[in-house]
């Protein structure tokens, strides 16, 4: 289903802990993205990467970190510095400029 996989689907974290969300794609896409979705807020860009070993901050990068060591993988770490981490996180990938972005099924993170 889809070619882009996020894991886990649900994640619970204690306050003060870092947590890493996985995103893997087998679509041979160069570009990968992380979005955060909150009710009524649409999709907000956290980080994106257009090639391996390079990534850029999006609109709400504070408290998050990423890496792009492989073309297929773009993990997102939610650090303890993120003040309100409870949200639905979506990873996406696209092949070229001006083409469709494919989304993973999302990870719902809850801080307890």
Partner 1 sequence: GENVEQHPSTLSVQEGDSAVIKCTYSDSASNYFPWYKQELGKRPQLIIDIRSNVGEKKDQRIAVTLNKTAKHFSLHITETQPEDSAVYFCAGLSGYSTLTFGKGTMLLVSP
Give the residues lining the site for partner 1 (CB under 8 A): 2, 31, 33, 35, 40-45, 48, 50, 56, 58-59, 90, 97-98, 100-101, 103-106
**CA distances, 49 to each of 6, 38, 46, 91 (Å):** 16, 22, 11, 11
Shortest distance (Å) from residue 39 CB to partner 1: 9
Question: 45 or 79: whose CB is closer to partner 1?
Answer: 45
Q: Which is nearer to partner 1, 82 or 93 (CB)?
A: 93
Quick one: DSSP state of residue 20? E
Separation of alpha carbons 89 and 58, rounded Å: 14
């Amino acid at each position: 289903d889809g070619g882009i996989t996020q894991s886990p689907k649900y994640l619970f974290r204690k306050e003060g802990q870092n947590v890493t969300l996985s995103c893997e794609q087998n679509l041979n896409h160069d570009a990968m993205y992380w979005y955060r979705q909150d009710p009524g807020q649409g999709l907000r860009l956290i980080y994106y990467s257009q090639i391996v070993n390079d990534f850029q901050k999006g609109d709400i990068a504070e408290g998050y970190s990423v890496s792009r060591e492989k073309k297929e993988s773009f993990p997102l770490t939610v650090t303890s510095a993120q003040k309100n981490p409870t949200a639905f996180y979506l990873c996406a990938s696209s092949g070229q400029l001006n083409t469709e972005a494919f989304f993973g099924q999302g990870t719902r993170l809850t801080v307890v």
